[in-house]
Amino acid sequence: MSKRRIETLAVHAGRGIDPATGAVVPPIYLSTTFERSPDGTYPHNYIYTRTNNPNREALEKCLCELEGGVAAAAFSSGSAATMSVFQALSPGDHVIAPVDAYSGTSLLLREVLIPWGLSVTFTELSNFTRVEEAIQENTKLIWIETPSNPLLKITDIRNIAEIAHRAKAICVCDNTWATPVGQNPLKLGADLVVHATTKYLGGHSDVLGGMAIARRETDFFNRIKQIHKTGGAVASPFDCWLVMRGIQTLPYRMKAQAENALKVAEFLSNHPLVEVVHYPGLKHHPGHEIAACQMQLFGGMVSFQVKAGREKAFDVAAKVKLFTRATSLGGVESLIEHRASIEGEGTKTPENLLRLSIGIEHVDDLIDDLEQALNSDFA
């Protein structure tokens, strides 16, 4: 049989008919413990649900197939997955991370992991010279987030992975925004992919989770798995089940959201009250050419900056009627947020920036909503 396409994998990967009942939809295994045989062995390979669980195992297998990896670990949140990757390093190791990235990752590095003993250089990963200059003898990991949050900067995964490997370092890519439908970092040379499964993979704003997927089984990934098991930040059976359910429609949701996002971005780009739009699908975006080479879809996230500053940006967000003012992204409903106020003190996000998570509503309704919010604000 020829290699299955991602639409097929999303429906079937990690799934099978329940052998006990013939159920097409897999059951949720809530048991925390599993029976031993009289000889002391575990014939089903399950001991205790912190160590392993059928639902978690199914989700890990599914994401391995979708991302093209060989091993995975499903965490209780995206931040837990990120934390465990960095914890698999040793105090004294050096990390290179992007300046523009999810604020939770930057906060984790600055407030927890630098005091713990990591050395971190924040730099522009789109500038290869700066990345090369940031390499130190103890550099062990380069962290990529592309498209970035919230400015949607694009990093050339293949080139950064090559820089990392020349330095004998690991390349990790946060693929939450693009998803395996839109981008495949492992095929471009990344060693690990991290997801907040809370977002597009779950897809319905009702589950919390994270995932780390490895291109190869290595001592480093085994260390992550050990932290996963011993630390206990594992995804619950029900949360795994919900993410698996969400993944079944992921390819079609992502196509709809990316199509809507491009149209919204084009509308905003032509609006006289918008200063700049950040979306890699726009041809004038500085990372468009790289994005077009390494992405199959440009994603469902759009950021834009309103003319006249912070107060006007808040006014626009206050006047939307269809978009929901809320943090998070990747659900079927469209969200809007003033990102700088969420990130708090020390944010580098422009104060006039609004971040949009574009849903699956009719795009004309979304555009109408943004248009009335912009126009009423400046009437």
Active-site residue (options: 29, 93, 100, 102) = 102
User: Is 219 known to be catalytic?
Assistant: no
User: Is 56 known to be catalytic?
Assistant: no
DSSP-derived secondary structure letter, 183: B
Strands 210-214 and 274-278: unpaired
Alpha-carbon span 183 to 203, nearest angstrom: 17
Active-site residue (options: 174, 239, 369, 377) = 174
User: Is 239 known to be catalytic?
Assistant: no
CA-CA-CA-CA torsion sign (269, 201, 67, 190): positive
Active-site residue (options: 56, 140, 199, 339) = 199
User: Is 199 known to be catalytic?
Assistant: yes
- Whether the bond into 91 is cis, omega within 30 of 0: no
Tokens, residue 327: 């943090």
Q: Kindly give the residue spans of alpha helices, DSSP state H, lying in the chain.
A: 6-12, 54-67, 78-87, 103-108, 114-116, 128-134, 157-166, 179-182, 219-231, 237-247, 250-269, 288-294, 310-319, 339-343, 363-377
Alpha-carbon span 368 to 379, nearest angstrom: 16
Q: Is 362 left (phi over 0), alpha (psi -120 to 50) or beta?
A: beta
Q: At what angle do helices 54-67 and 237-247 cross, to 10 degrees?
A: 30
Active-site residue (options: 50, 61, 312, 319) = 50
Alpha-carbon span 15 to 62, nearest angstrom: 8
DSSP-derived secondary structure letter, 187: G
Alpha-carbon span 88 to 227, nearest angstrom: 7
Catalytic positions, please?
50, 102, 174, 199
